[in-house]
């Protein structure tokens, strides 16, 4: 159906299908008007000329044909502006390649069917010229997308590898925090292709699950140990509180030392309970030792005598020769230690020096006993002897290899044999020294 425009200054009476310009003659007798890209026929039909021939774009049965061409030229100018704007937007990259292609197709259809007079072929040619531009934009966009995908894959792979390392470690508190941070980083990265993204996510999720499971197991075991430590310390506290009122100062002091050793060996309980138990344990100790100090404060004169006793014991202890008679020294020291404990307190200014000297003797006796045991250990002696025998056998074998190589004139094998002999001799010297230590 051809379009019949309504011009300014015209009116359309009721029932009339075509507007009649004011003062214009009727359709019959309208002269034909022509233009470069269109014309108005004698009957008022408006045509546009394209490379495919003429096409009817409207009817102008009344009025000036030149005005009709001007009217339809205005429509063409609007299309030209639309094409120009589309060119600028595409060249500026304001549209995605997909949107640009859709827009070109839409405008092309509009131009192809336009009810306008003008060089429509040139507009279509300009639209067609946008195809390579869009193709290049599509290529660039595809390359950028591929580059971003590669970067995202690299970043996600790095996250997965770090999570897998954390899953193998034992940094439970820091590891859990780091896992959350890695999960947040993952969310900021774009998705990859479905298969790759799913595979990486599966690895990351598995690492988090492994870390969480191991972490829970660790803390469950830790809680179990703390429960056991708590039960042990509760018993120690009960023993300490029973001893608090005892006046057997020496024996009770030793008992408290034993309880303290057991306390340290018990490990840590749950913090709040551990602190509460420790306060009770220390309170019991303090009660006993304060009572002991109050009682002994009345006999300050004894402190000097006690110090003299301890000096005598220390002199005897320092005369022990643990290196010559470890067992005898150990037994003698044990007896001296018992007497040392029973001797009582000494003046405060002398206590540190006396205790330090006695401690050095104790360490010397213990070290000598440990050394005696090490030297007399039959298993160690047997291992040392076996090592010496194997090295001697290896040395003899290498010597035979050297003799054969020299006889055959094989310089390379002879050099290798000499190097092996030199190394074995060094090892053998060290092994023999170790064996002598067991024998001495």
Question: What are 400-417's pLDDT values in tens digits?
Answer: 888 998 888 888 888 888
Which of 421, 423, 438, 440 lies closest to 385 in space, CA to CA? 438
| pLDDT given at position 3 | 44
| pLDDT given at position 8 | 34
Q: Is 313 exposed, middle or buried (0-12, 13-18, 19+ CB in 10 A)?
A: buried
The alpha carbons of the chain give a radius of gyration, in whole angstroms, of 53
**Mean pLDDT for the chain?**
82
Question: What are 64-82's pLDDT values in tens digits?
Answer: 899 999 999 999 999 999 9
Alpha helices by DSSP H, 169-268: 172-188, 194-243, 249-266
Q: Which of 11-15, 143-147, 370-374 has the lowest mean pLDDT?
A: 11-15
| pLDDT given at position 104 | 94
| pLDDT given at position 77 | 94
pTM: 0.37
| pLDDT given at position 12 | 33
CA-CA distances (angstroms) from residue 286 to 40, 106, 310?
122, 96, 25
Following DSSP, what letter does each residue of 355-375 receive, concatenated? HHHHHHHHHHHHHHHHHHHHH
What are the sequence ranges of the domains in the chain? Answer: 19-139, 149-220, 236-376, 378-439
């Amino acid at each position: 159906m051809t379009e019949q425009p309504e011009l300014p200054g015209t009116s359309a009476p009721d029932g009339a299908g075509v507007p009649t310009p004011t003062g214009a003659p009727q359709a019959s007798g309208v002269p034909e008007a022509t233009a470069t890209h269109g014309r108005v026929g004698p009957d008022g039909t408006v045509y546009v000329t394209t490379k495919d021939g003429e096409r009817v774009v409207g009817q102008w049965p009344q009025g000036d044909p030149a005005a009709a061409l001007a009217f339809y030229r205005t429509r063409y100018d609007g299309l030209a502006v639309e094409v120009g704007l589309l060119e600028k937007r595409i060249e500026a990259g304001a549209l995605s390649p997909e949107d640009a292609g859709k827009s070109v197709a839409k405008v092309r259809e509009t131009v192809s069917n336009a009810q306008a007079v003008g060089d429509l072929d040139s507009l279509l040619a300009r639209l067609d010229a946008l195809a390579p531009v869009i193709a290049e934009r599509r290529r660039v966009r595809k390359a950028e997308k591929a580059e971003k995908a590669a970067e995202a894959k690299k970043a996600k792979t790095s996250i997965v590898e770090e999570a897998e390392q954390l899953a193998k470690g034992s940094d439970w508190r820091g590891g859990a925090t780091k896992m959350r941070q890695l999960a947040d980083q993952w969310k900021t990265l774009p998705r990859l292709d479905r298969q790759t993204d799913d595979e990486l996510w599966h690895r990351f999720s598995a690492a988090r699950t492994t870390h969480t499971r191991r972490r829970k197991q660790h803390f469950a075991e830790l809680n179990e140990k703390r429960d056991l430590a708590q039960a042990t310390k509760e018993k120690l506290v009960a023993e300490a509180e029973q001893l608090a009122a005892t006046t057997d100062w020496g024996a009770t002091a030793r008992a408290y030392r034993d309880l303290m050793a057991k306390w340290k060996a018990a490990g840590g309980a749950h913090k709040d309970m551990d602190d509460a138990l420790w306060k009770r344990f220390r309170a019991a100790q303090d009660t006993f030792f304060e009572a002991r100090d109050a009682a002994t404060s009345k006999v300050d004169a004894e402190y000097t005598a006690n110090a003299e006793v301890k000096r005598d014991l220390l002199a005897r202890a320092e005369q022990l020769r643990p290196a010559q008679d470890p067992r005898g020294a150990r037994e003698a020291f044990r007896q001296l230690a018992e007497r040392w404990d029973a001797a009582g307190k000494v003046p405060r200014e002398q206590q540190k020096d006396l205790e330090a000297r006695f401690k050095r003797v104790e360490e010397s006796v213990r070290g000598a006993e440990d050394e005696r045991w090490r030297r007399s250990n039959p298993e160690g002696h047997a291992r040392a002897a076996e090592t010496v025998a194997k090295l001697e056998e290896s040395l003899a074998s290498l010597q035979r290899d050297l003799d054969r190589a020299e006889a055959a004139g094989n310089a390379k094998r002879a050099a290798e044999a000499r190097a092996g002999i030199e190394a074995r001799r060094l090892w053998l010297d060290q092994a023999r020294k170790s064996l002598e230590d067991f024998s001495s």
